Amino acid sequence: MNVTHLFCSACGEKYEPNKLYNLCVCGKPLLVAYDLETAAKTLTKESLASRTATLWRYEEVLPVVNKQNQLSLGEGWTPLHKAEKLAAKYDLPNLYIKDEGINPTQSFKARGMALAVSMAKELGIKKVAAPSAGNAAGALSAYAALAGMECHIFVPQDTPKAFIVECEVLGASVNLVDGLIHDCGRIVGERKEKEGWFDVSTLKEPYRIEGKKTMGYELAEQMNWTLPDVILYPTGGGTGLVGMWKAFDEMEQMGWIDSKRPRMVVVQADGCAPIVKAFEQNLNHGVDIPDAHTVASGLRVPKAIGDFILLDILQKSNGIGVSVSDEDLVAGAREIGANEGIFAAPEGGALLAAMKKLLNDGWIKQDETVVLFNTGSGVKYLEAFEN
């Protein structure tokens, strides 16, 4: 509502509010800026008590102008689960799981797509398209159906069946691509102009981040306006990380939290760890991954366009990157399931495996508050759990 302008995350170039955008002219992602002083007049901590249990409770710091364009299937306001049994097992009393698998279409992609499609609706778009490794496609299909838009999905041929069936049932046109997600992205890029599609690829569209940032607002609200010491986040394109970091800054500017930040942990799979490797090598861009592979399809993003932002966040937060094997991440999901009753996505399972490494290394201390962002549900990944 209170958008003043958009600006480039790399060159700082400014753009007018209330318009659709893809990347900056320099080729890097755009971010949304708000008049937070005005937002904070009505968006008060007290006012939140009586608001809707969806991400739209933070509407003053979201870009949609007209309330009628707020598409909703119940996204956001997911439980912050106190993981008592895992806490006891690892002697880590303040361990929490933010369970994003509860979202519509069973992943946190619903947050980003709710915003991107709402903005597209507000600005008159009739057709949307996106490449996806899985969950983004389902979420886009759902919100496009709600908005009455045509939806074109491009997924790698070997994407688990549940994702493909889901999109088809939600009315999308699904295209299987012989390649990886960046190949899918290239096809969308090549065809979009001729077909009249609006491209909602990760970070190539500025409003998905605004939806994902609500994870940061919710976390603070659910923790009574404190933040944890450590956040573990399964990182593909990294929208959630960029979004949460942005939310922390906005909340500080509104006087809701202080300047203390969690140490952010980028968790990736051994078969596709461009950010973890870049962090270890002290680079400011992701390393090339020629043969990206992992059953955690959300982590199979060999080239993230916001890589430099993710590496900057790791540095600023005194964070770290950790990669884990597919075997360990599936075992992690089983362990979360059997102990906490949450059927986590393999991406979520990766966090437990990473947490164990960081506990062993002494990087996480036993008295610290730790939050694992289980970004999706395991139900769409049955193949990964079969053997």
Ligand X SMILES: *Cc1c(COP(=O)(O)O)cnc(C)c1O
Tell me how far CA of residue 139 lies from CA of 60, 68, 115, 157, 180, in angstroms.
23, 20, 11, 19, 19
Residue 149, sorted as left (phi over 0), alpha (psi -120 to 50) or beta, turns out to be beta
Q: Does 203 bind Zn ion (CB under 5 A)?
A: no
The answer to whether the beta carbons of residues 359 and 92 sit under 8 Å apart is yes
Window 22 to 81, contacts with Zn ion (CB under 5 A): 24, 26, 28
Tell me which of Zn ion, ligand X, none is bound by residue 26, counting a contact when its beta carbon lies within the kind-specific cut-off of 5 to 8 angstroms.
Answer: Zn ion
**Out of 211, 216, 271, 376, which residue is the one contacting ligand X (CB under 6 A)?**
376
Minimal distance, residue 370 CB to ligand X, in Å: 18
Stretch that binds ligand X, among 47-55, 233-241, 248-256, 364-372 (CB under 6 A): 233-241
Site string for ligand X, 126-145 (x = CB under 6 A): ---------xx---------
When binding is defined by CB under 6 A, the residue of 9, 118, 214, 375 that contacts ligand X is 375
Q: Does 286 bind ligand X (CB under 6 A)?
A: no
When asked if residue 54 is in the footprint of ligand X (CB under 6 A), the reply is no
Q: SS3 helix, strand, coil % of the chain, rounded to 5?
A: 45, 15, 40
By CB under 5 A, residue 11 contacts Zn ion: yes
- Residues across the chain: 387
State both tokens at 359.
Answer: 């506990």
Determine the interface stretch with ligand X among 20-28, 60-68, 185-193, 236-244 (rule: CB under 6 A): 236-244
Alpha-carbon gap, residue 353 to 357, rounded angstroms = 7
Q: Which stretch binds Zn ion (CB under 5 A): 6-14, 108-116, 206-214, 266-274?
A: 6-14
Residue among 57, 140, 100 nearest 371 (CA): 100
* 32: β partners: 6
Stretch that binds ligand X, among 60-68, 159-167, 193-201, 237-245 (CB under 6 A): 237-245
Q: What's the rounded Cα separation, in Å, for the pair 248 and 245?
A: 5
CB of 145 to ligand X, least distance (A): 19
Pick from Zn ion, ligand X, none: which does 286 bind, CB < 5 to 8 A by kind?
Answer: none
Q: Is 307 in the site for ligand X (CB under 6 A)?
A: no
Binding of ligand X by 237 (CB under 6 A): yes
Query: d(Cα 107, Cα 121) in Å, to the nearest integer?
Result: 22
- What is the rounded radius of gyration, in angstroms, for the C-alpha atoms of the chain? 19
Which CB, 109 or 192, lies closer to ligand X? Answer: 109
**With binding defined as CB under 6 A, does residue 332 bind ligand X?**
no
Residue 366 carries which DSSP code? T
Amino acid at 26: C
Q: Return the residue matching tokens 């043969």.
A: 291
- 77 and 51 Cβ atoms separated by less than 8 Å: no
Residue nearest to ligand X (CB): 298
Among Zn ion, ligand X, none, what does residue 135 contact (CB within 5–8 Å per kind)? ligand X
Positions that interact with ligand X (CB under 6 A)? 107, 109, 135-136, 202, 234-240, 298, 345, 347, 375-376
